[in-house]
Structure 1
Amino acid sequence: MADTTRKATRPVPPAAPAGPPPPTAARRSRRRRGVTPWLFLIAPLALLIAFTYAPIVNMVAYSFTDWDGVSPELHYTGAENYAELFTRPELFEVFFVSGYYLAASVVQIAAALYFATVLSFNVRFRNFFKGVLFFPYLINGVAIGFVFLYFFQDGGTLDAILSLFGHDGDRAWLGTPTSANVSLAGVSVWRYLGLNFVLFLGAIQSIPGELYEAAELDGANRWQQFRHIIAPGIRPVLSLSVILSVSGSLSVFEIPYIMTGGATGTETFVIQTVKLAFQFNKTGLASAAAVVLLLIILAVTWVQRRLVPDDKVDLV
């Protein structure tokens, strides 16, 4: 019987752990990670620069010229347009019209906050009322202007409704500065109520439900829940709504331009600026007015943010 010898097997050494990548590869990886976000931002940044910041730069440049908006020639006039703006009181008197819209914005925010608070609880037909309140904001502003133009005309819809309650006689609702501005401000409240309502409703519904349950166990009523839970929880959104309302009051254009064209003492600063540019061919002066309006809105926003800082809300 032949002897068999068993071959000795060598133990296989364990694989050496992979070392760190070479420095060049690590640098390439970091560079790719740094460049990738900018690749996604190229398109939106290009659109933002082309359609927002470049026109603003052009507007500021035109404000120092006497360009009429048509002629290819324009001459540098320095600060003459700004001097004319601040030395002609009638150009700034139109800001008093914004007071009507500023007062209307207070009513609008209060009404939106009330409806958002009520509809955030379990109320019958809650979704239906949400749609009713938000629907006006979806309608085109030009259509709203024409609808309410017929609503406020002599013998129109409003007079017909008032006659049902014993109010006889036609009234020119857009015939005097006070009644016209009050009517136009009321239309603005009706149209933009839905926007503030949705903002408030979303903020209220983002508050944890456990806080309401704990408040109910402690015997808190609806007003106490609003005061100690809802109001502090929606403070950032309320601050945003105030900023939007103030800037919107200073730059009202669409509704008064469609309904009255700025007549009967309803001319706003923006309507006046548009007339300077396209009716009187003073594009340089109109550009200066637009720059002043932009600076006023930025200043008001800055003051508001300083008075009411956007602190982090912690209700827990």
Structure 2
Amino acid sequence: MTDTSTEKAAAKAPTGPVGAAPGPAAAPRTAQLWRGATPWLFLLAPLALLLTFTYAPIANMVAYSFTDWDGVSPELHYTGAENYAELFTRSDLFEVFWVSGYYLVASVFQIVAALYFATILSFNVRFRNFFKGVLFFPYLINGVAIGFVFLYFFQDGGTLDSVLGLFGVETDRAWLGTPESANTSLAAVSVWRYLGLNFVLFLGAIQSIPGELYEAAELDGASRWHQFRYIIAPGIKPVLSLTVILSISGSLSVFEIPYIMTGGATGTETFVIQTVKLAFQFNKTGLASAAAVMLLLIVLAVTWVQRRLVPDDKVDLA
């Protein structure tokens, strides 16, 4: 009787190494599913906003570009590629891209100036926090307010003429009266406004470079120019590439400043201003949508070419 009970107990006893701890229980399948779905739950709201306010309007814009919709009528008719054919057969619709050349040249001066100020103010300079605020402040101002301020600044007998008069320079030039002077003035306003954005991007990138590299360079007798050339310039290459992309795309899609100050008059009409007029002034929403699609494709193509020419390689400053 006793032997039989002992054999049954031994048969029920777990086998395996003596003293081995039991393995951890497998996580329930429901817990694993929740763990995998948690990141997507956090992304649900931003993805919904992105789809609703970005990709859905783009899809609608592409759909409208194949119609003759006037933007008001509830009826629209499919016209195929007629809007795109009209875009490429009317040279005047693409001639406005020459105006973007002024802003493209101005963006070069903007990047150079922003990089210069960011480099100088990244070192220990007196009142550097004050100058940082001065440089970044224009970017915080509303674009409409900037347009009206500089509209009075450039008008005949306005602020610019008054300041020049203090230095004995008499001028009766209409700064917004000819295409060359008007586009140059508007491009200068754009530089003044967006200089602070590029400045902050460059300053953040420069300050992310380890300080030990500067100390080692100073011990080796490197000047400020050598520190910029061999430490700062390679270290901020990804940010510099991003800034170039933003400058090119911004030059192609300028709208706010020229629209407020001149309304596109005096040869200052940009591609975006022309597209807005097609949609809301001439009620050619289908053609305007096709123009907007072409602008989007041009910006994407320029960005792709720039990324191919200047890839984002990993920077190793050690």
TM-score (norm: length of structure 1):
0.93
**TM alignment of 1:155-174, pairs within 5 A:** 155-174=157-176
Residue 96 of structure 2 aligns to a residue in which SS?
Answer: helix
> What are the superposed Cα offsets for residues 185-241 of structure 1, whole Å, 9 maximum, x if unpaired?
000000000000000000000000010011111111000000000000000000000
Q: Distance in 2 between matches of 1:168 and 1:65?
A: 55
Runs of 4+ off more than 4 Å: none
Match of 2:222 among 209, 214, 220: 220
1:88 alignment partner in structure 2: 90
Aligned Cα root-mean-square deviation (Å): 1.2
1:7 alignment partner in structure 2: none
1:62 pairs with 2:91? no
1:17 alignment partner in structure 2: 21
Do the aligned residues in 2 keep the contact of 1:152 with 1:158 (CA within 8 Å)? yes
1:269 alignment partner in structure 2: 271
1:106 alignment partner in structure 2: 108
Identical columns (%): 86
1:238 alignment partner in structure 2: 240
Equivalent AA in structure 2 for residue 257 of structure 1 = Y
Do the aligned residues in 2 keep the contact of 1:256 with 1:267 (CA within 8 Å)? yes
**TM alignment of 1:144-155, pairs within 5 A:** 144-155=146-157
1:205 alignment partner in structure 2: 207
Match of 1:288 among 287, 290, 300: 290
2:52 alignment partner in structure 1: 50
**Offset, 1:158:** 0.2
TM-score (norm: length of structure 2):
0.93
2:138 alignment partner in structure 1: 136
**Offset, 1:314:** 1.1
Do the aligned residues in 2 keep the contact of 1:251 with 1:268 (CA within 8 Å)? yes
1:41 alignment partner in structure 2: 43
1:3 alignment partner in structure 2: none
**Offset, 1:19:** 3.0
Q: How many residues align?
A: 301
Q: Distance in 2 between matches of 1:16 and 1:204?
A: 56
**Offset, 1:54:** 0.3
Equivalent AA in structure 2 for residue 249 of structure 1 = S
Do the aligned residues in 2 keep the contact of 1:155 with 1:171 (CA within 8 Å)? no
Q: Distance in 2 between matches of 1:191 and 1:36?
A: 41
**Offset, 1:33:** 1.1
Consecutive unaligned residues in structure 1, runs of 5 or more = 1-13
1:257 pairs with 2:259? yes
> What are the superposed Cα offsets for residues 146-183 of structure 1, whole Å, 9 maximum, x if unpaired?
00000000000000011111111322100000000000
Q: Distance in 2 between matches of 1:157 and 1:134?
A: 22
